[in-house]
Structure 1
Amino acid sequence: MTLPDGDCDLLRDLLVAAGATTVVEIGLAYGSSALAIGEALAAQGTARHVIVDPFQDSAFSDAGWAALCEAGLDAIAELVREWSSIALPRLVSEGIVADAAFVDGSHRFHEVFVDLYFLRKLVRPGGLVVLDDQWAPSVSTAARYFERNLGWERVSDAFAGGSTRRAGDDPSADLVPRCVAYRMPEPSEPAFTDFRPF
């Protein structure tokens, strides 16, 4: 339920190197990733951190939000207490352009897919989308669609040295990094005949 410290450091460093000033985060929980993102954004000066988590109060007793407030990061962060499938389309309609996104919300395939669908409209070309728990088949399969059909480019060394887990929690499977980062391409819509199975 919380991103390990080493992965938080890698996330922070990735966002600092990218010069990110606006980040959308899906899932807050206990706030470890949000603190890392907040640290990266605070280093940039002008910053905006939009966090979407419908369960922050009911499942986490506002622990993540309290940690951000105690760190003084509530000045740049806003918490949207709605389902991402409701909040993200509204952010698109408001014209928000993000430099990066961090996704650690629902791990159901259809919900991850919807998050990624809207994040491709929110994150600028050249920006980053980082997924947590890509060891989960539902998460990695959703991401694979965007990689194979829409040209999302995996940043291969972004989480080198970070935590790993066996794919699908299968003891015989390979170890894979917990997090994966993708660089956003220029927007384009492929013809429906160009569909690549994923």
Structure 2
Amino acid sequence: MSVFDLITSRYKHIPYMDGRRAAVLREIITENGARDILEIGFYQGKSSICIGAILEDLGAGKLVTIDKGTARKHEPNILDLLEETGLGHRVEPRFAHRSYTWEMQKMIAAQPRPQFDLCYFDGGHQWDGTGFGVVLVDMLLKPGGILVLDDMNWSMARSAYHRERPGSVAGFSQDEREAQTVRLVWRTVLPHLGYAHLREYPALDWGVARKPGG
């Protein structure tokens, strides 16, 4: 049995990367020869260990994944999962003090600058963070690199989190609350950067695009 099969079977109770999504992500990674991978938003680390397992089965590669420091409070958290699975050599978690965008700034400023084959983007979904975050991701993707956007149809108005916390949207206009902000980035920012829309996965709420060049 592959490492991927072991991981997806053993940890199927942990959200949010279910077996169907993990299998599609494996296809995308394998078909595009991605070995250096960036992930924005890992929550408990389920998606991270799935990617780590994919790379382990391929025998090469590493994932750098970023989330807020508050992710340490989850039970289990990503560090627990990496210790249990032995995939720490494939996955490097980074805990941001405030925002993943500042962590990416550090990566952009590093010499040599990291360059990734693929980014799985499941960070904060509001316009400001997603729009600016994707621009920063573009600076870290190799020419021809792949961007996988999660929650294409997310909106504050439809979010269970925000519905349960009405005060969290108090500063937003009604049109911004109702906007599908990740899809807005897909429709406006990515074409501006020259990305090709490769495919949408409506059942997964994903969009996959390719950076020009390569």
Same fold at TM > 0.5: yes
In the alignment, residue 106 of structure 2 is paired with which amino acid?
A: R
After TM superposition, the structure 1 stretch with the greater mean CA deviation from structure 2, 114-123 or 141-150, is 141-150
In 2, distance between residues paired with 1:61 and 1:125? 38
Residue 153 in 1 paired to residue 169 in 2?
A: no
Residue 108 of structure 2 corresponds to 92
In 2, distance between residues paired with 1:44 and 1:145? 35
In 2, distance between residues paired with 1:69 and 1:45? 19
Q: Shift of the alpha carbon at 1:62?
A: 5.1
Q: Shift of the alpha carbon at 1:61?
A: 4.0
Residue 10 of structure 1 corresponds to 24
Residue 143 of structure 2 corresponds to 125
Q: Shift of the alpha carbon at 1:4?
A: 2.4
Residue 20 of structure 1 corresponds to 34
Q: Percent identity?
A: 22
Equivalent residues in 2 for 1:45-194, closer than 5 Å: 45-54=59-68, 55-58=70-73, 60-61=74-75, 63-82=77-96, 83-94=99-110, 95-136=113-154, 137-156=180-199, 159=201, 164=203, 177-186=204-213
Preserved contact between residue 99 and residue 127 of structure 1 (Cα < 8 Å): yes
In 1, distance between residues paired with 2:142 and 2:130? 19
Preserved contact between residue 49 and residue 91 of structure 2 (Cα < 8 Å): no
Give the number of equivalent residue pairs.
170
Gaps of 5+ in 2: 1-14, 155-179
Gaps of 5+ in 1: 165-176, 188-198
In 2, distance between residues paired with 1:4 and 1:48? 21
SS in 1 for 2:21: helix
In 1, distance between residues paired with 2:85 and 2:54? 13
Residue 32 in 1 paired to residue 28 in 2?
A: no
Preserved contact between residue 16 and residue 41 of structure 1 (Cα < 8 Å): no
In the alignment, residue 50 of structure 1 is paired with which amino acid?
A: V
What TM-score, normalized to structure 1? 0.78
In 2, distance between residues paired with 1:5 and 1:33? 10
In 2, distance between residues paired with 1:106 and 1:118? 14
In the alignment, residue 122 of structure 1 is paired with which amino acid?
A: L
Q: Shift of the alpha carbon at 1:68?
A: 2.8
Preserved contact between residue 26 and residue 51 of structure 2 (Cα < 8 Å): yes
